[in-house]
Amino acid sequence: MEAIRFLADLTKETPANTYPGWPLTISQFDNDGRRAIGYLPRLMLSKPNQLIKIINERTQEIVKIIRVKGNKFVPSVFENGNYTIEVGEGAERKTIKNVEISSEPNKEIAI
């Protein structure tokens, strides 16, 4: 994120155009604000940087959609229940249903 000073000269890239401490970099997970009550099993992806979609099966609410970095991801969830996980895009999308919060810290799902 950037914070540009009012009336900054944007034709020149100088530190005087931004506020001290900016630009600021945050994690994409910092934007959520909710506290996770649990985690689904670790996803071990066959291809890196996949799109992940988590759906609450009871409400059909999309809990999160995120493009992960790398080939491992542990999805956090905000209520007990079963979840559907969709991995990938288009014709290469894979769906796993009835995934529960994992009580085993090393449980994994290979996709």
Average pLDDT, integer, range 58-80: 93
Query: How does pLDDT run across 6-50, given as a tens digit for each residue?
Result: 888 888 777 777 888 888 888 877 777 888 888 999 999 999 999
Q: Which two tokens stand for residue 49?
A: 């940087």
Tokens 């290469």 locate to 92
The reported pLDDT for the residue numbered 12 is 79
* pLDDT at position 105: 64
- Asked if pLDDT for residue 78 goes beyond 80, the answer is yes
In whole angstroms, how far apart are CA 80 and each of 13, 27, 37, 77? 49, 25, 8, 8
Residue 85, pLDDT > 80, answer yes
DSSP sequence for 28-52: GGGGT-PPPSEEPPEEE-SSSS-EE
- Looking at residue 21, its amino acid is G
Question: How far is CA 96 from each of CA 17, 32, 56, rounded to the nearest angstrom?
Answer: 49, 24, 12
